[in-house]
Amino acid sequence: MSPPASSSPTPNPLPPFDESTYDPLTFDTSSVPKEIIMKWCHDPIVYLAGNVPDKRKAKTAKEHVRRVFSHQASSAVLALGANPFPGLRERRHIAELNKSTGKYKEFLPWFGVSAILAHVTPDELERKGCININTTNTLFISRRFRLKANHMANANKDRSAMKLHGDHNGIHPCFRRGNWVETSDFEYELMKPILRVASKMLEMPSLLDMWHALGSPLHHKPGTRMMPKGSYVYYTGRSSEDERTKTSAEMERLANYVTFRWEDTGGMFACTNVDEKKIGLRGTKGTNARYACIVSIDTNIRYILSGGTGYAASRYNPAAQDESSLLRVRYHAAMSLVHEMTHVWFLNTLAIDEDIFPFANDQRIGEEGYACEAVITKGVTIGPISANPSVDTMPFGMMAAPWPGVQRHDDWDNFVSASRAKQGINRNVQYAVPMKFIRDFFTDDLWDNREKRFGAGALEGYKAIAVRQKCNFYPGDFNGFESPTVEKVRDEDTGLNIDTWMPDAEEGIIYPDRAFELSGAPIDITM
C-alpha cells in the first residue's frame, strides 16, 4: 500500500550525467537518464499548437530536453494558466484504503497527455453536456437501474455474513450473489444497477457473435517475418440464431466457474486471473486444461460506490457534479465487467498452450476484451478523459476512441492493434462523450426498444466534440508485431469507425458543422 503523502520516502540520488558534453548536432535525449529528464521537465513547456519549440536553438542539454518533451495546447486552454484546477495537486490519505490519492506528475501539464483536455476547455465540455446531467429525475433513470432505498436501508454491511437480499431480477447468473466474495449485502445492492446493465450487454447479438467465435476452434496462422511464432484468429459475425442460443445457454453455466473479489489492482479498473485449483467450464486436464477464473475489481471502485469522498470528482473539478460522476463510474464498471467476462469465457472454453491474445478476423486486433467492447459501442471503446493525475471518478468526463486505433502497444508483445495505416488512415481521433449517451444505458427505452430495433447502431451517439491529430506514420506502415496482410474486411457493425465529421480537416477540433485548428483558430470549411 502507498504511504501517506506526508511520509513519502526520500528519493534516491539522480544518476550522473555530464551536461558539459552537450553538442546540439549530436545530442540524443535517450542518453539522458529518465530521472533527470523528469526533473528537468518540472513546470513543462506548454506552447500554442502549431508553434513547436525549435530544439536546434537550445543552448543547453536541459533546454533541449525541455523542448523535446514540450506539450501543445489550444489558445483557450493556454489561457487557463498552469494550475487552473488546484485540486489535481492535492493529495489525501484515505484511511479506509490505507493509501493516498494519486500524485501530480510535475513533469506533465495539468491536462496530462489528454488530447481532448489539451485543446478543449472543461467549460466547453460542460456546455456540450459531457460532464454533468440530471440523474435525479425518475424519468431519466429507469426503475430497474436505480438503487432501491428500502433494500439499501435493510442491507447487512457485514462482509462475512452474506445472504440473498432484495430483488435479483435481471442479473445474469454469472453475477449472482454467491460469486462475490468479501462483499456485504449492502455493497451488492450498490452493484445491482451495474450488474443489470452488464447483463443486458451480455444479451446483445453482437456480443453473442463475439463469444461464439471466441469459444470456437481458432484458426492457426503460420509465422511470418513479423510474427515468427504465428498467430491465432477467430472470425466474428458468423453465428446463426441457433448458435447464439447455445452460446447464451453455455454462458449461464459459466456462472459456476467465475468468482469476483476486490483488491488493489495497481491502477487497473479490473483484471482476470486463472484459478488453477479449479478446472474450467469445458473441462480436461493436463497441458490443455481450461481453468475457472477470478475477476479482481479495484478497491477504489468499491470505496467510491460506497460513498467515499476522497476521490470525489468535485475535489478535482469544482464544476463536476458528483452524482453525474457516479453515473460514469457505474457505466465504466458495467463495461469493465463485460470486458473481463470475455477473458473468463475465453479461458474457460478454449485451451491454448501459449499465452496469447487471439486476433479478430485476422486484422491484428489483439485483446479480446477491447474487441468485445467495440462490438457493443459500434467500433469504439469508451474510457476516462484523464487529467494529471488520472482519477477513477473521471471529473472531466469520458472519451471514445476507435478500436482498433492507431496507438502502439509496445509493452505487450501479444497485444496488437490493427494498423489503420493499412486502410490509408494516418490520423487519430478522440471524441468527448455526451453524458446523455452514458445515461441512456440506464434506461428501459435503450434496451427494450432501440437496441432491439437497431442493434449496435442504437449505441452510436457518443460524439460531442472530436479532437483529430495526424500520426507520425504513413499509409502502408504497420506495427512491428503484425503481418503486413489482411485476409478479411470487417463488417459494418464491428468495422473501423468512419470519422465522418469534416473529413477534409486533417487535424483540428471538430464539431458536426464546424472545425477549428488545434490552436483554436477557425477553419474555413467552404474551401
> Which residues are bridge partners to 468 per DSSP?
429, 508
C-alpha cell at 140: 431519466
Q: Hey, what amino acid is at 238?
A: R
- Write the single-letter amino acid at 146: R
Q: What is the pLDDT of residue 13?
A: 58
Cell numbers that stand for 44 in this block = 513543462
* Residue 95 burial (C-beta neighbours within 10 Å; 0-12, 13-18, 19+): exposed
Average the pLDDT over 469-488 and give the result.
54
CB atoms within 10 A of CB 82: 10
For residue 208, is pLDDT > 50?
Answer: yes
Question: How confident is the model over 369-421, as pLDDT tens digits?
Answer: 998 998 898 888 999 999 999 999 999 999 998 877 665 545 444 444 455 55
Instruction: Determine contact, residues 441/197, Cβ cutoff 8 Å.
Output: yes
Range list of H helices, 258-383: 299-305, 313-316, 322-349, 368-376
pLDDT on residue 421: 54
pLDDT tens column, 162-207: 888 888 999 999 999 999 999 999 999 999 999 999 999 999 998 9
Alpha carbon distance 476, 464 (integer Å)? 31
Question: What would the pLDDT profile of 220-271 be if each residue is shown by its tens digit?
Answer: 888 766 667 777 888 887 789 999 999 999 999 999 999 999 999 988 899 9
| Helix residue spans in 377-519 (DSSP H) | 435-440, 444-445, 451-454
Higher-pLDDT residue of 26 and 360 is 26
Higher pLDDT, 368 or 224: 368
Per the prediction, the chain carries an average pLDDT of 85
What pairing do the DSSP bridges indicate for beta strands 291-298 and 427-432? unpaired
268-283 residue pLDDT tens:
899 999 998 898 999 8
Q: What is the pLDDT of residue 240?
A: 92
Bridge partners (DSSP) of residue 508 are 468
- 215 contacts 280 by C-beta, under 8 angstroms: no
Prediction pTM value: 0.90
The DSSP code sequence of 478-493 is --TTS-S-------TT
Return the domain boundaries, the chain.
5-84, 143-516
Q: Residue 353: what pLDDT?
A: 59
Query: Quick one: pLDDT at residue 363?
Result: 65
The pLDDT, as a whole number, for residue 224 is: 67
Helix ranges (DSSP H) in 203-297: 205-214, 241-253
User: Whole-angstrom Cα distance, residue 214 to residue 349?
Assistant: 8
- The angle formed by the CA atoms of residues 323, 325 and 328, to the nearest 5 degrees, is 115
Distance CA 245, CA 262 (A): 32
State residue 358's pLDDT score: 82
